Structure 1
Amino acid sequence: MIPEQTPAFIDFEASSLDLINSYPIEVGVCMPDGKLHNWLIRPDDHWHDWSDSAEAIHGISRLRLAKEGRPVAEVARQLNQLLSGQVFCDAWTFDSFWLHRLFRAAGEPAAFQLESVTVLLQPGQVECWPGIREQVIAELGLPVHRAANDALILQKTWQRVICRGEAAEQ
């Protein structure tokens, strides 16, 4: 059984993994009802970092961001309209950095708090998370390292981990 209070999940893709210079290039959200939202983010004028190896992983080019990316202020505004309370991610150090960069460039605060999915889990659930995540990825057949797909994978993994924990207790 899936708990009644399914949280929202968020994921970012970024220009690189450099925690000083990188910036978000894509953000995806999976809402409690499973609805997905996704935005490519046009880099702010002050953002210059880029990693070809990161591009090879997520497949999003600078040219595509320039053509299809939404302005940072628009993405921040839409996230604030969509989200409130706690929103969960699986790479808090990176995701919180990119969330902060996005909202700082937009000139407004986030209307929600980012938390690690691990705060929702018991120690045994944290241990089984990686294996279950791999099962979910295989079953969904979605490309990883795209923000909305990864947010959905987070939700489905969380649901399965929580269900497994409840079944083990009975």
Structure 2
Amino acid sequence: MRGYLFVDFEASSLSSESWPIEVGVAQIVERRVLVESRLIRTHETWDPEDWHPESAAVHGISRAELAAADPAEEVARWLVRRMGSSVLVSDAPEYDRRWLIRLLEVIGQGASAPEILDFDQLAWALFSHSSDVAPGRLHVVMKRFASRRSVHRAGPDAADMAYAFRKGLGR
């Protein structure tokens, strides 16, 4: 499981012009779930008008918090280092990849953004009855993931995916 990095973004909205405001990553290392997250200061090239109050009400991150956050370039460089050669996994890969690209564009690396695997599809491949990893444990993974109480913050949401996979591995 060390090669998988679970990733989640919170964003300004769900529109096609939205931009990332927080990124969280989680990884299973020796049965421990390691979690990191960073708030992202709004980049000058991102349209501030694409801030939607409905999204803010869901994630609870204020514009004042973003003004005090790390610059987008710094977070992008941190994320590139953190991703390394890991395989990215998300429960919303279409959205998260869009925000990953938008973040990496600020350092000129948007075109090289890696693909992101779908959490459900990877769980099926690793934990279904035909799997060589943990056959027949799919129900355990999905039950653990479905029972989470999402707080709509990037770090905890990424951690929820890692905890579900760890549960599937058993003891």
- What is the TM-score with the length of structure 1 in the denominator? 0.78
Q: Does 1:75 align with 2:55?
A: no
Partner in structure 1 of residue 35 of structure 2: 36
1:99-123 per-position Cα deviation (integer Å, ceiling 9, x unaligned) = 0000012222557542222342227
How far the C-alpha of 1:60 sits from its partner, in A, is 0.2
TM-superposed CA distance for 1:128, in Å, is 7.3
Counterpart of 1:159 (choices 152, 163, 166) is: 166
Distance across 2 between alignment mates of 1:32 and 1:87: 13
The counterpart of 1:9, out of the listed 6, 11, 21, is: 6
Question: After superposition, what is the alpha-carbon deviation per residue over 1:14-69, rounded to whole angstroms, capped at 9, x for unaligned?
Answer: 00111x210000001112222111100001112121010110110001111002x1
**Counterpart for residue 117 of structure 1:** 119
Q: Which runs of 5+ in 2 are unaligned?
A: 129-136
Q: Which whole-Å deviations, capped at 9, do the CAs of 1:72-128 have from their partners, x for residues lacking one?
A: 111111111122231111101100000000001222255754222234222767787
TM-score normalised to the size of structure 2?
0.78
Q: Secondary structure at the match of 2:28?
A: coil
CA distance in 2, matches of 1:158, 1:89: 12
CA distance in 2, matches of 1:42, 1:6: 29
Call closer, same or farther: CA 1:35–1:77 in 2, change over 3 Å: same
Q: Which moved more, 1:32-41 or 1:144-153?
A: 32-41
1:106 alignment partner, SS class: coil
1 CA distance for matches of 2:20 and 2:34? 21
Q: 1:134 aligns to what?
A: 146
CA contact (8 A) 1:133 1:153 kept: yes
Question: Is the CA contact 1:28–1:149 (under 8 Å) kept in the aligned structure 2?
Answer: yes
Q: Which runs of 5+ in 1 are unaligned?
A: 164-170
CA RMSD of aligned residues (A): 2.5
Aligned-residue sequence identity (percent) comes to 33
Aligned AA (1:160): K
Distance 1:65 1:5, change over 3 A: closer
Give the number of aligned pairs. Answer: 154
CA distance in 2, matches of 1:84, 1:112: 10
Contact 2:123 2:141 in 1 (8 A): no
SS of corresponding position for 1:122: helix
